[in-house]
């Protein structure tokens, strides 16, 4: 069953409308404070908006626009919320934790335990059924939490950064598990990890300041970002401005590149390029025509085997040896140079 949602909450500067197709997984990206958790809390019934409505299939979750407003309690919504922390009941065994959902809907105890064992097997935690949550590792507890959420038979699964609290060894296992259990299931996942979005979601939205600023197929948004946040996740430089015949007029000057599709002069447009394609000079270089952008260095930071040189919206990856030769430091003016063939231009 699909989701139709629109809601506004003035106290949080939140105003969002979206739709989720049946069986679709949607990734929600955005900086801290963008309204991502507010979105899930309203859908789950933990937070009441000022106005709006939401339905799953033909069933209404809330409708605050009519004269007789409707507000369905969280436990009757057919949603399951999986948070960063597993939040398992400490006094119950793993088996009873997972059986809790079916039992709370009136399923007989023996049947509920049978359902629980099926989901424990699906999440590779069947051998843990007699343990208490305090005896589990972080990764084990989160997998049990996934089993508990799914055992309740939700129409919509809501995941609020489910891998944020996991270590680097547990996160890949959880990602593979979610890819398996989310197949064909309606779900919304909040994440800060571009790999989660690429592996788990068919579609992505970017939220900033309580609004959706970008939406589309996951690879399309990450390969051709239109917001600085999405560009940062994708590891790209993103310069915006007005299209000209020769390129884009940006705050750093004219940037030429390869247009993607039709980019008419005068329309808003963006130029995207990888930091690794950028060279840094103290003086204007000679040679073939290139994009040459002058800017003041703001930060220097390690980035894998390279050093990332930042200058406002610009970033360049150079070798430690190049950094030493140039003697770069914050506050210095420098030329950021790249070939037009390394720049993709598209309308926004």
User: Domain with 68 in it: what CATH number?
Assistant: 3.40.50.300
Q: Which residues pair with 79 in a beta bridge?
A: 156
Q: Is residue 232 part of a domain?
A: no
State how many domains the chain has. Answer: 2
Boundary residue ending a domain (175, 200, 223): 223
Quick one: 279 and 331 in the same domain?
A: yes
pTM greater than 0.85: no
Determine the length of the chain.
Answer: 348
DSSP letter, residue 312: T
Domain boundaries, position 252:
237-347
**Backbone phi, psi, residue 24, to 5°:** -95, 145
With 80 as the cut, is the pLDDT of residue 304 above it? yes
Quick one: 218 and 252 in the same domain?
A: no
Quick one: 215 and 253 in the same domain?
A: no
Distance of CA 80 to the CA centre of its chain: 19
Q: Which of 82, 42, 46 is nearest to 162 (CA)?
A: 82
Quick one: 68 and 208 in the same domain?
A: yes
Dihedral sign, CA of 49, 36, 75, 186? positive
pLDDT of residue 335: 94
Rounded to an integer, the average pLDDT of 42-48 is: 96
Quick one: 273 and 180 in the same domain?
A: no
Quick one: 13 and 121 in the same domain?
A: yes
Q: How far apart are CA 112 and CA 129, in angstroms?
A: 13
Quick one: 113 and 193 in the same domain?
A: yes
Q: Which of 239, 230, 307 is nearest to 276 (CA)?
A: 307
Q: Is residue 229 part of a domain?
A: no
Record the tokens describing residue 27, joined without a space.
């990734």
Return the top range by mean pLDDT from 24-28, 106-110, 177-181. Answer: 24-28
Quick one: 125 and 39 in the same domain?
A: yes
Residue with tokens 């944020």: 164
pLDDT digits (tens, 9 = 90+) for 142-182: 889 999 999 988 999 999 998 887 877 788 888 888 888 88
Quick one: 205 and 258 in the same domain?
A: no
Q: Which helix (H) or strand (E) holds 29?
A: strand 25-29
Quick one: 211 and 320 in the same domain?
A: no
Quick one: 40 and 159 in the same domain?
A: yes
Q: Is residue 299 part of a domain?
A: yes
DSSP letter, residue 282: S
Quick one: 215 and 257 in the same domain?
A: no
pLDDT of residue 289: 64
Boundary residue ending a domain (170, 196, 223): 223
With 80 as the cut, is the pLDDT of residue 287 above it? no
């Amino acid at each position: 069953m699909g989701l139709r949602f629109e809601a506004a909450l003035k106290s949080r500067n939140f105003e969002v409308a979206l739709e989720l197709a049946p069986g679709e997984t949607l990734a929600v990206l955005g900086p801290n404070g963008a309204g991502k958790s507010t979105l899930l809390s309203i859908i789950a019934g933990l937070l009441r908006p000022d106005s709006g409505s939401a339905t799953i299939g033909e069933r209404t979750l809330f409708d605050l626009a009519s004269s007789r407003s409707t507000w369905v309690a969280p436990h009757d919504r057919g949603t399951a919320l999986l948070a960063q922390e597993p939040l398992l009941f400490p006094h119950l065994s793993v088996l009873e934790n997972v059986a809790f959902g079916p039992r709370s809907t009136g399923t007989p105890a023996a049947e509920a335990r049978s359902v629980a064992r099926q989901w424990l097997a699906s999440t590779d935690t069947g051998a843990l059924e007699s343990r208490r949550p305090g005896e589990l590792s972080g990764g084990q507890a989160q997998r049990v939490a996934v089993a508990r959420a799914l055992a309740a038979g939700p129409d919509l699964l809501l995941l609020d950064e489910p891998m944020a609290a996991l270590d680097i060894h547990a996160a890949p296992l959880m990602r593979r598990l979610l890819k398996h259990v989310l197949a064909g299931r309606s779900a919304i996942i909040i994440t800060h990890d571009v790999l989660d979005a690429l592996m788990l979601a068919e579609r992505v939205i970017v939220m900033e300041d309580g609004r959706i600023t970008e939406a589309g197929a996951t690879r399309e948004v990450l390969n051709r970002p239109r917001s600085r946040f999405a560009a940062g996740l994708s590891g790209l430089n993103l310069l915006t401005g007005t299209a000209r015949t020769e390129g884009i007029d940006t705050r750093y000057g004219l940037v030429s590149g390869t247009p993607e599709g039709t980019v008419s002069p005068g329309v808003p447009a963006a130029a995207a390029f990888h930091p690794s394609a950028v060279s840094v000079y103290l003086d204007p270089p000679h040679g073939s025509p290139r994009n040459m952008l002058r800017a003041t260095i703001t930060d220097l930071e390690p980035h894998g085997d390279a050093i990332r040189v930042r200058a406002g919206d610009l970033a360049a990856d150079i070798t430690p040896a190049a950094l030493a030769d140039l003697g770069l430091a914050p506050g210095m003016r420098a030329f950021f140079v790249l070939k037009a063939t390394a720049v993709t231009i598209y309308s926004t």
